[in-house]
Every structure is written in C-alpha cells, then in structure tokens.
Amino acid sequence: MDMNARRALQVWLALVVLTLLTWAVGRAGLGGAPVIAGILLSVAVKGQMVADVFMGLRGVRSPWRWMVSGWLLVVLVLIGLAFFTGET
C-alpha cells in the first residue's frame, strides 16, 4: 500500500472514531459548554483532515487552502458563540 492510500486509511479511521464519539455523547444526552466545545473542536479536526488529505489541499498554494480552513474556523467559532449565548 502506497503512502497516500495508507494516510487516507488512517484519516478514515480517525474520522470513524471521532464520529462514534460524537454519537456516544449524543446518546448519553450530554450537553453544556464543555461538551459543546469538545465536539466543535473534534469537528474542526475532522474537517481539516478531510480538507487536507481527502480533498488534497495540503500544500496547495494560498489562498485556496486557508479559504476552506478559514470557513471551518469562522463557522465553528460563531456556532460556539451562538450556543454559549443561548445557554446562559
């Protein structure tokens, strides 16, 4: 198996684990600020892995890569803010 294929498989595995974790959190009915922050962080990690390895954006010249990373960051941070303002 060449390097690309191995890395893709590693990313797939990581994505599956993080997804199952998210699902378990939902099933356990956990909520609140720390849980929200944790899940959003895991989404950021998942999204960046998809962008870098699946989409192949790692090493792509700017601004094309950071436009996806920036999208993830802005959307997730703003979602987080909305949830925290809603929580209190």
Partner 1 sequence: MERIASHPAAGQNKALPGDFAIWIFIYAELLVFGIFFLAYAYTRAQHVALFNEYQQHLDRESGAINTLVLITSSYFVVMAVNAVRRGAARRCGQWLVLAIGSGGVFVVVKLAEFAARHAEGVTLSTNTFYMFYLSLTFFHFMHVLMGMVILSVVAVKAYQGAYNALEHTGVETGASYWHMVDLVWIVLFPLVYVLH
The answer to whether residue 34 forms part of the interface with partner 1 (CB under 8 A) is no
End-to-end CA distance of the chain: 51
Q: What is the distance between the alpha carbons of residues 49 and 43, in angstroms, rounded to a whole number?
A: 10
Residues 12-31 contacting partner 1, CB under 8 A: 12, 15-16, 19-20, 22-23, 25-27, 31
The answer to whether residue 41 forms part of the interface with partner 1 (CB under 8 A) is no
- Among left, alpha and beta (phi > 0; psi -120 to 50; other), residue 56 is left
CB of residue 11 to partner 1, shortest distance in Å: 8
Answer yes or no: are the C-beta atoms of 48 and 69 closer than 8 Å: yes
The answer to whether residue 56 forms part of the interface with partner 1 (CB under 8 A) is yes
**Single-letter residue type at 73:** L
Answer yes or no: are the C-beta atoms of 76 and 43 closer than 8 Å: yes
Residues that bind partner 1 (CB under 8 A): 2, 4-5, 8-9, 11-12, 15-16, 19-20, 22-23, 25-27, 31, 36, 39-40, 42-43, 46-47, 50-51, 53-57, 59-61, 64, 67-68, 71-72, 74-76, 78-79, 82-83, 85-87
